[in-house]
Amino acid sequence: MTPYILKKHLTRKITFLEKNDPQIPAALFSAVSKAPDLTDFPYPLPSAKSDYTCSAQGNNSVMWFGGKTGITRYDPNGKSIDDIIMYFSAHRHLPHHAVDAMLADGDDLWALCRDKVAHIEMIMLTAEEKSEILLDETNKYVMRRGMVSQRDLKECRNYESRYPYAACDNDGLFTSGYAIGEMYRYATLKEKLGKDHPRVIDARRNATKACEACLLLMYIHGRPEGFIARSYHVTGEPIPDDGIFYKREGKTAHCVFTNEAKNCGRVGEEVPCDYPVPERLAALYRDIGYTDDDICYKADTSSDEVTGHFLQMKIAHDFLAEDDPELDEIIKDACKRTTKHIIDHGFEFCESSGKPTTWAKWSKRYFDNDPIGYVDAPLNSSEMLVYLKITMYITGEKGIWQETYDKLIADGYADLGAKHYDRFYQGAMRERVNPEEDLMYGDNMLALMTYWMLCTLEKDEALLKKYRAAFKSWSGLILREHTPGYDFMYKLGIPDAEIDLEKDANWFTHFETNRFISTVNSLRHDVAVKIGRNYDEKREFEISALLTPNERHVSKYDRNPYDLFKGENKGTCVESCYIYTYAYWIGRYYGFIDEEGQA
C-alpha cells in the first residue's frame, strides 16, 4: 500500500489576552473596518451575511469577516473547502461570540471581543510536529502518576491553574490508548532512527510508564483474584460521589461512603487486599511518598477498561517485552489472572460479593435473560473470545484458555458477532430513538479493538470469516466518522475494506495543537441541523455534515462527532492527546500515512 503523504499545513494557535496586555497592538483599538459586502459571495458562510459587521484583509488575498457570531477566514486560494472557509467561534477560538474590531497582522489576526482580545496565529506545522506538541501538553499538564485521562483547571485556559488531582472512571481504557500510541511511536522511530536515538528512548520511556500505570490498576486493589480497578486516588484527593470506592487499610479494604455505595447497601463492606503489588508498579505512588494504606480505588469495573487493558498488554508484549523481560512477566501474570477470574466467575467480572459488576458481563445468562444483554451480546461475546486469544498469544500457553475458547465457539459465541447490526437497530426501535442516538459511542472503539485483534490472531479460516463479518456489521457507524484511528484499525482487520485516506489526512491537517475543552457555536448558518432524542430523553442536535476536528467539540473516542453541543465550557479542562497520537503513530507504523520528504 502506498502511504498518503501528509504535507505541512496552516494550524490555528489561539491566545486570549486582557485588553490592557502590552502585547496587543494599539492599532487594534483604533481600527476602522466596514461590514463586508457579501452579496455575491460564492460559498455558504458559517454566519448569516447580515451578522458580519467588520472585516480585515490579510496576506495573499485572505479576508477575515467578523460579526455577532464569530469570525470567518476566507482564502480564495485554498485547496479544499475546509481551507477556503474557516470558522472561529467562542469559546474555543474567541472569548466571546461577538467581535467588535479586527486587525490583520500578516497571516495572523487580532480580534477585540468585549473585554478581551483573541490573537489568532496561523502557523505551518507537519502532522508529526503536532503530535509532539500535543504529547508535550499531555505529559506536562494531564498525566498523573502515569495515568492519562483529562485534567480540570481552576481558570480558563490556564495550565498552571490545574488541580493537583483528577478523577476519571475510565483511566484504564484512556491510559491504554495513550500507551498504545506511544508504543507505536517507539516502534516507528526505532525502525527509522535506531534504538539509541533520544527520541526513541523518550518514546520507550513514555510507553513503559503508561503500561506500568495500566498494569498497576490490575494489582492496586490487593485482591487475590484477578480484579481490575477503574481508577485510584491517594490520601488528600477528594473521592467522587459517582461510584464504589474501597479504602485500603492493612490487609483489608472497606467500601467508603458515597451515595451510590449507600444506595447499594455496600458502605463498610470489607474485601481482602493482601495480594502483593509488584514493587515496580507500586513505585508509581511509593516513590512520591504514598503507601498502600493511602490508596482508595474505584471498583464496579466495566468491559471498557478490560478490553483496553488486553489490547495494550498485547502491544506491549510485541514492542517492549524483548528488552524488558521483567515487564513481560508482569504482563503475563496480569493477563492470566484476569482471564482466569472471568472464567471462574461464569464469564462475568465479579465483585467480592460474587455479584457481577454493572457493565462487564460476557455470559450466556446475561445475553439470554436481559434486554440490554441481548443487544450487548454480539460485541461482548467477541470481547470474551479476544481476551482468550490474547492470553494464549502473550503466554504461549493453550490448556484451559484453548479449552474455554473451543467451548465458547461451540456455544455459538463466534456466530453472535455478525448479529450486531440487527440487534442494535432492534434495540433502538424498542427505545423509539434514531439508531445513531441510541449508541454508546465508546462501543465503537471497543468493537475496533476487539475485531482488529480477533482478525489478526485467528488462523482458522472459517472463524476468521465470521469475525470479519462481525466487524463489517459495525462499518456503517465507524466509517461515517472518517476518524483515522478507527479507519486504520478497520482496514487492518479487513484488508480489502475501502477507507478514504484523503479524508483521514484532512483530519490530521485540521487538528489543533491544544486540547482545551471549549464549546463551539452550534448555530452555524452553513450546516443543516436535525433534532433527535437520545436514550436519556434529552434533545440533542446532530449536524448533517461532518465538520473538521478544529470546528467541533473536543472529546475522546467516545462521543458522536456529529453532535453540536450547546454548553458553555470556556476551557476549564484539558483532554489528553491520545486520540491524535494513537491514530498518527499506528498510521505511520503500518504505512497508511507518511510525512512529506520522508516516504
Q: What angle do CA 433, 419, 379 make, to 5 degrees?
A: 85
CA 479 – CA 561 distance, rounded (Å): 12
CA 341 – CA 358 distance, rounded (Å): 16
Among positive and negative, which fits the CA dihedral 583, 585, 591, 593? positive
CB neighbourhood size of 249 (10 A)? 13
Helices (H) and strands (E) in the chain, counts: 20, 22
Strands 4-6 and 593-595: parallel
CA 224 – CA 271 distance, rounded (Å): 10
Minimal CA–CA distance to 542: which of 557, 519, 522, 521?
522
CA 102 – CA 73 distance, rounded (Å): 12
| Contact residues for 34 (Cβ-Cβ < 8 A; gap 6+) | 54, 55
pLDDT value, residue 483: 97
Minimal CA–CA distance to 151: which of 441, 576, 440, 444?
576
| Cis before 91? omega within 30 | yes
pTM summary value = 0.96
CA 598 – CA 2 distance, rounded (Å): 13
Query: 218 near 231, Cβ under 8 Å?
Result: no
- The DSSP result for 164-180, as a single string, is S----TTHHHHHHHHHH
Axis-axis angle for helices 461-472, 484-493 (nearest 10): 150
Query: 309 near 301, Cβ under 8 Å?
Result: no
3-state helix, strand, coil in the chain (%, to 5): 45, 20, 35
The secondary structure of residue 240, as a DSSP letter, is P
What's the distance, CA 359 to chain centroid? Answer: 19
3-class secondary structure, 261: helix
For residue 580, give the C-alpha cell: 491524535
Q: Which residues of the chain have pLDDT under 50?
A: 535, 599
CA 547 – CA 562 distance, rounded (Å): 8
CB neighbourhood size of 80 (10 A)? 12
List the domain boundaries for the chain.
Answer: 10-168+481-585, 175-361, 368-440+454-468
Terminal alpha carbon distance of the chain: 12
Query: 481 near 445, Cβ under 8 Å?
Result: no
